[in-house]
Structure 1
């Protein structure tokens, strides 16, 4: 079922919570006093937002830090066992609140502006605990997975996969270059919502809920080739390769060293690898690894030989 974008209502100042800035600047507000903020890694936040649908209240996103904040009422009764990487922000911690009109960009902006509803702590907790949304906790694939299996993407492509549309292929190719949703939309002359719909369709097709796993599915299935780069591959330790395998969905967090199993430390290591490799995003990092042939069988033979071409 296709998720329809919710129309944005016309809101007056009286509809806004008291902590919204009455200016054109991003201003600080205190967690635990004005609201309860749940920080979620971007790779989990976007599919969680889709799963919550119209039940979602205010949500902040930041592409630079790759973190989102779901803002709940300050008197919310919260579950205790949030997944690794998800954090209830401490009381008194300040976070930036942008103006209502700030709905895009690299820095903090509204993924869902206030005034449209309130997020249920129980619903958010349930969605974030869904194993299909977890980057480093998915279970191994069953012996005979269904077509829309949600186990980690493996290097070998499914037998006779359904072909992607030409639009999905072009969106996927640009995803591997590190382009944002907005940049892909501008390059292809499409609305951002259509680009996100294509990315969601790719994820559902291959059981790949995160951007990095979509890159793996596109490459391992031979659907697109990694963009060529002139930079030589950096020297990576075995621990670095283990982190990359987990990020790509080729293995689970059980294959990580114990000191990296807390998701926060794992994400810090991913950030370091992105900087060392010159990657603009997690999918771009996966594409670079494929181009450098650092992980065996990450890229399909047809794509590696250049025989697979975009229509």
Structure 2
């Protein structure tokens, strides 16, 4: 019986080789016992809700804010996953925690083995369809923010001011704080922090953390946090990637060699490291502070709400 067949049984009745029963995290390699699809936390949570009982094993990591959906090995996968989603290459090691590890900051089970198997087609459908970030969705009809117009302002209407709590959480989002770090900083339950983030998202139609950061900056609600570090050198490809990440430009603006998920994400990983950015929203905020995203330079900066 294969490890994946075991995974379809009750959790207490199987002991696959990629599951640690000794209270320690083991290293397993993609392609042998499972196929792993890495999804940003902001997309993974609603995807999990949409999939419901059709979800198989899912790993989550609050520190890196990434989730891994574990699919049957050798699954036939589409090749057009949305940006931010990555099919992990064969041989790539992944930490597999004990079955009892269902919480904490580091890798843990969001959905433990034994509850079913995720269909690659279902996962692709919910990520590529209604859960795709609004600025990249083919169904989007609203005008997008300008991407190559220095000095222009990406104006957004503000029918009502953000609450002080939303502004505080938004400021921490722009510094790269995780949900857990925000909760610790503000001495609030993590559920309350996520509630405020969700309200910001609903206010601006921003389903991901990056889109929330862009909306807060472009609308003049919050200024980018100042940093002492000078901007590193950015290549034209770096700038194109920043604009696509922020939803300020279409994917067609990327060079042809970056129009697949892996090169694009590898480039962002390198860019975050070079800039000292903790997260993608932090990277966008740094780029805005350095003047690399002109459409986010809003005159309202300096006149921020109290």
Question: Deviations along 1:248-305, whole A, 9 cap, x unmatched?
Answer: 1111111111121112111111122212211111111111111122221303211x2x
Instruction: Give the Cα separation in 2 of the matches to 1:15 and 1:93.
Output: 28
Q: Does 1:98 align with 2:107?
A: no
> Partner residue of 2:122?
123
The answer to which of 81-90 and 193-202 deviates more is 81-90
Q: Greater CA deviation, 188-197 or 91-100?
A: 91-100
- SS of 1:297 mapped into structure 2: helix
- Hey, what's the Cα distance between the residues in 1 that align with 2:76 and 2:178? 33
Q: Does 1:189 align with 2:177?
A: no
Shift of 1:152: 5.5
Give, in whole Å, the separation in 2 of the partners of 1:248 and 1:78.
30
Pairs within 5 Å for 1:247-262: 247-262=245-260
Give the distance between the partners of 1:234 and 1:80, measured in 2 at CA. Answer: 36
1:170 corresponds to: 168
Are residues 41 and 278 of structure 1, via their aligned partners in 2, closer, same or farther at CA, if it must alter by over 3 Å?
same
3-state secondary structure, aligned to 2:195 = helix
- How much has 1:140 moved relative to structure 2? 8.2
SS of aligned partner of 2:295: coil
* SS, match of residue 103 in structure 1: coil
Kindly indicate whether the alpha-carbon contact (under 8 Å) linking 2:136 and 2:247 is maintained by their aligned counterparts in 1.
no
| 1:237 matched to 2:238 | no
Q: Distance in 2 between matches of 1:231 and 1:172?
A: 22
**Matching of residues 61-210 of structure 1 within 5 Å:** 61-62=60-61, 67-72=66-71, 78=76, 80-83=78-81, 86=85, 88=87, 94-99=93-98, 100-101=100-101, 103-105=103-105, 107-114=106-113, 118-130=117-129, 132-134=131-133, 137-139=136-138, 141-142=140-141, 145=142, 156-210=154-208
1:122 Cα offset (Å): 3.5
Change (3 A) 1:73 1:236: closer
Structure 2 contact 145–295 (Cα < 8 Å) conserved? no
* 1:222 partner SS: coil
Can you list the C-alpha shifts for 1:170-205, whole angstroms capped at 9, x where unaligned? 111100011111000111122222322322332232
Aligned length: 288
Distance 1:184 1:130, change over 3 A: same
Most deviating of 37-46 and 191-200: 37-46
The alpha carbon displacement at 1:70 in A equals 0.8
| In structure 2, C-alpha distance between the alignment counterparts of 1:290 and 1:240, rounded to whole Å | 14
CA change 1:36–1:291 in 2 (3 A) is closer
| Between 117-126 and 289-298, the greater mean CA deviation after superposition | 117-126
Contact conserved, 1:176 with 1:283, CA < 8 A, in 2?
A: yes
1:197-250 superposed Cα distances (whole Å, 9 cap, x missing partner): 322332232122221121100111111121121112223233222111111111
User: Structure 1's 17 and 72: CA in aligned 2 closer, same or farther, altered over 3 A?
Assistant: farther
Find the aligned partners of 1:190 and 1:256 in 2 and give their Cα distance.
40
Structure 1: stretches of 5+ with no match in the other structure: 1-11, 146-150
- The 1:30/1:43 distance shift into structure 2, 3 A limit, reads same
1:270-309 matches, within 5 Å, as 270-302=268-300, 304=301, 306-309=302-305
Residue 48 of structure 1: aligned partner:
47
1:190 counterpart SS class? coil
The alignment's C-alpha RMSD in Å is 3.2
1:20 corresponds to: 19
Distance 1:94 1:270, change over 3 A: closer
